[in-house]
Chain A
Amino acid sequence: MSVSDTSFRDSRLAFALRQGGGIVLSLAATLLGLLLVTFFIGRVVPIDPVLAVVGERATQAQYDAVREALGLDQPLWKQFGIYVWDALHGDFGQSIRTREPVVDEIRRYFPATLELATLATIFGVIVGVPAGVIAATRPGSLIDQIVRIVGLMGYSMPVFWLGLMGLLLFYGILGWVGGPGQLDAGYQMLMEFELTRHTGMILLDTALNGRWDMFANALSHIVLPAGILGYTSMAYISRMTRSFMMNELGQEYITTARVKGMPEWRVIWVHALKNVMVPLITVVALSYAYLLEGSVLTETIFAWPGLGSYITDALFAADMPAVLGGTVVVGVVFIGLNMLSDILYRLVDPRAK
């Protein structure tokens, strides 16, 4: 037995390595494709990158000098090589508006989006999964109808409308939450001087600095945008959970668990949910990725200094390095989350190993 046992393990390891290699390879290919697309977008838009740097009144000599400095006199394939090389080293060029490296700006903006999207997704999972499960166990009941209608509203009502109505009601009329922005104006000033930005995420940073007054203020500002994004995410997650759950509850192993006399909570929340988790991981990861792309509308309405606002503002200013840098970051986040869900999927489903 020991012989067969070790070979069994060896082949398993080899298999895992092969799979891991496959993932890395497909990751690299996807990344290269992404860079290729952004590179060509950068070349075909009718914006002269040299002109954007030197301005309209530059002399031909100045123009040529910058053109050379940007590498635009090189053949296209070489330009692409330089672009990929730079991108791999975290260099997406300079923002035309601010003259700052794009990567530094993204580093400043992205945490705000990350924080918002993470809170929203946590909300979506914590509310959406149980709601979907409960709806699936009582199909056609009142609670199922409520989950269905609330969910339907969640993904059919435009988020900018929800955002405006939310602001009007909870901020304007009731005064329960903070308004647009990450902090009240007074705190915003203080933040510049008194807060060490460890992570760039406002809740974490205020907590890490022990500024609980600021933390409470930040919380009152994030709760509405996170709640609204979380609502749309919850709507999707609850619908998907319900349908996955319905499917699992019809399976024979569920009958087995009942035949064993297992209580209903265990049948549903352990036996069935473990199986629901498998497809649900992909759903949650995709919904998270979608929010991480920067919810442009939500960030605009709530004056949230995130990636969505950053890319939109850059676009209006024809700041191509910033737009493309932001796009690459979004793409990388998307690819990364896809890979993560692939790995998690393998952990949860023993058959996928």
Chain B
Amino acid sequence: MSDLLTIRDLRVTFDTETGPVEAVRGVSFRLGRERLGIVGESGSGKTITGRSVLRLIRPPGRIEAAEMTFDGIDLTRISEREMRALRGPRIAMVMQDPKYSLNPVMKVGAQLTEGLRLRDRLGAAEARRKAIEALEAVQIRDPERVMEAYPHELSGGMGQRVMIAMMLIPNPDLLIADEPTSALDVTVQAEVLSILDGLVRDRGMGLIFISHDLRLVARFCDRVLVMYKGRIVEEVAAGELTRAKHPYTQGLLNCLPRIGGSRAPLPGLDRDADWARA
């Protein structure tokens, strides 16, 4: 299987008033048409890694990499215009909270169809038909009404399904899901995840699933990268999670309660400054 995405020695630096801060420090991984999980706590650099692939780091952030290739295209070399042609139809991203990631003053329908109309030059009726299909694919029951709704009129679960529908309309090769269920109620998390899972599987796209929840990621992914302070500290196959060697990974596993498990206080997460070193 040829690689969809190759990243070697990715560094993202933010120049702040107190000097440069490296949010991502030498991350390397390869991705085929598979599901890769990236796990870490807040500030570990997982979101920045995801957004670097889309080259959507706002200044003063800088992206540097020895190699960043998507399907044979050198992402570090291409112009912004060429990059824009990749965003959407080839690489897409689902973000954390639909409350913020959908435009509050545009109807859902307008947000779903704008790519089809602008990029694919479809007529209004055709674009609308495709958008409704996309909403049906994420199991929204009354898509006609949702098309006419504004984002604030949708529940979180609905909003996130709209977001997924919107990102999957152009059928991208790679989807980056950045904490796609963290802002949702626990009861709808599973539903949204299974919809996402089904679509990604059916369409055979590559998935980068970013989360702080190691067990969740392990359920949906083939491989898991564990990040700590901007570096990858361990890579494990999802099935072999229990055999993870790195103490940080074990810490992430043990800091979650289990139903029926022991009621002893949960252990805190160990953070050893040494793990952050090369």
Other-chain residue from A256, A258, A266, A350 in contact with B152 (beta carbon distance below 8 A):
A350
Using A258-B87, A260-B87, A351-B152 as known contacts, say yes or no to A253 and B115 having CB atoms under 8 A apart. no
Q: Indicate whether A79 reaches chain B with its CB closer than 8 angstroms.
A: no
Task: Point out which of A5, A256, A262, A278 has the most chain B C-beta atoms below 10 A from its C-beta.
Answer: A256
Q: Indicate whether B266 reaches chain A with its CB closer than 8 angstroms.
A: no
Using A266-B118, A351-B152 as known contacts, say yes or no to A259 and B104 having CB atoms under 8 A apart. no
Other-chain residue from A253, A258, A261, A271 in contact with B100 (beta carbon distance below 8 A):
A253
B95 x A260 contact (CB < 8 A): no
B142 x A260 contact (CB < 8 A): no
* CB proximity of B46 to chain A, nearest CB, Å: 16
A255 x B105 contact (CB < 8 A): no
Residues of B within 8 A of A256 (CB): 95, 101-103, 163, 166
* CB proximity of A11 to chain B, nearest CB, Å: 13
Please report whether the interface of chain A is mostly helix, strand, loop or mixed according to DSSP.
Answer: helix
A259 x B167 contact (CB < 8 A): yes
Using A266-B118, A351-B150 as known contacts, say yes or no to A259 and B88 having CB atoms under 8 A apart. yes
Other-chain residue from A252, A261, A275 in contact with B105 (beta carbon distance below 8 A):
A275
A259 x B103 contact (CB < 8 A): no
Residues of B within 8 A of A348 (CB): 105
Using A350-B150, A350-B152 as known contacts, say yes or no to A261 and B86 having CB atoms under 8 A apart. yes
B89 x A261 contact (CB < 8 A): yes
- CA–CA, A274 to B107, complex, Å? 12
Closest to B176 in A: A259
Residues of A within 8 A of B152 (CB): 350-351
Closest to B163 in A: A256
- CA–CA, A259 to B94, complex, Å? 9
Using A266-B118, A350-B150, A351-B152 as known contacts, say yes or no to A271 and B103 having CB atoms under 8 A apart. yes
- CA–CA, A257 to B87, complex, Å? 10
- CA–CA, A262 to B100, complex, Å? 18
Using A1-B142, A251-B100, A351-B150 as known contacts, say yes or no to A262 and B114 having CB atoms under 8 A apart. yes
Chain A interface residue count: which class?
A: 20 to 34
Using A260-B166, A266-B118 as known contacts, say yes or no to A255 and B101 having CB atoms under 8 A apart. yes
Q: Which of A60-92 contact B (CB under 8 A)?
A: none
Q: Indicate whether B201 reaches chain A with its CB closer than 8 angstroms.
A: no
Q: Indicate whether A263 reaches chain B with its CB closer than 8 angstroms.
A: yes
- CA–CA, A259 to B167, complex, Å? 8
- CA–CA, A266 to B88, complex, Å? 15
Closest to A353 in B: B150
Other-chain residue from A255, A263, A271, A278 in contact with B106 (beta carbon distance below 8 A):
A271
Other-chain residue from B85, B103, B106, B163 in contact with A261 (beta carbon distance below 8 A):
B85
* CB proximity of A348 to chain B, nearest CB, Å: 7
Interface string of A241-275 (1 = CB under 8 A from B): 00000000011110111111111001000010011
Residues of A within 8 A of B100 (CB): 251-253
Q: Indicate whether A194 reaches chain B with its CB closer than 8 angstroms.
A: no
Residues of B within 8 A of A10 (CB): none
Residues of B within 8 A of A266 (CB): 114, 118
Residues of A within 8 A of B115 (CB): 260-262
Q: Indicate whether B84 reaches chain A with its CB closer than 8 angstroms.
A: yes
Interface string of B89-112 (1 = CB under 8 A from A): 100110111001111111000000
B105 x A350 contact (CB < 8 A): yes
Closest to A254 in B: B103
Q: Indicate whether B73 reaches chain A with its CB closer than 8 angstroms.
A: no
A260 x B105 contact (CB < 8 A): no
Q: Indicate whether A100 reaches chain B with its CB closer than 8 angstroms.
A: no
B118 x A253 contact (CB < 8 A): no
A253 x B119 contact (CB < 8 A): no
Q: Indicate whether A349 reaches chain B with its CB closer than 8 angstroms.
A: yes
B87 x A259 contact (CB < 8 A): yes
Q: Indicate whether B195 reaches chain A with its CB closer than 8 angstroms.
A: no
Sorted nearest first, the 9 A-B pairs with minimum C-beta distance are A261-B88, A261-B87, A252-B100, A350-B150, A253-B103, A252-B101, A259-B93, A260-B88, A256-B101
Can you list 28 contacts pairing A with B, beta carbon distance less than 8 Å? A5-B145, A250-B58, A252-B100, A252-B101, A253-B103, A256-B166, A258-B54, A258-B56, A258-B87, A259-B92, A259-B95, A260-B88, A260-B92, A260-B114, A261-B88, A261-B115, A261-B119, A262-B115, A266-B114, A271-B106, A275-B103, A275-B104, A277-B105, A348-B105, A349-B104, A350-B152, A351-B105, A351-B150
Taking A256-B103, A261-B84 as known contacts, 6 extra A-B pairs with beta carbons closer than 8 A to each other, sorted by chain A number, are A251-B100, A255-B51, A256-B95, A259-B56, A266-B114, A350-B152
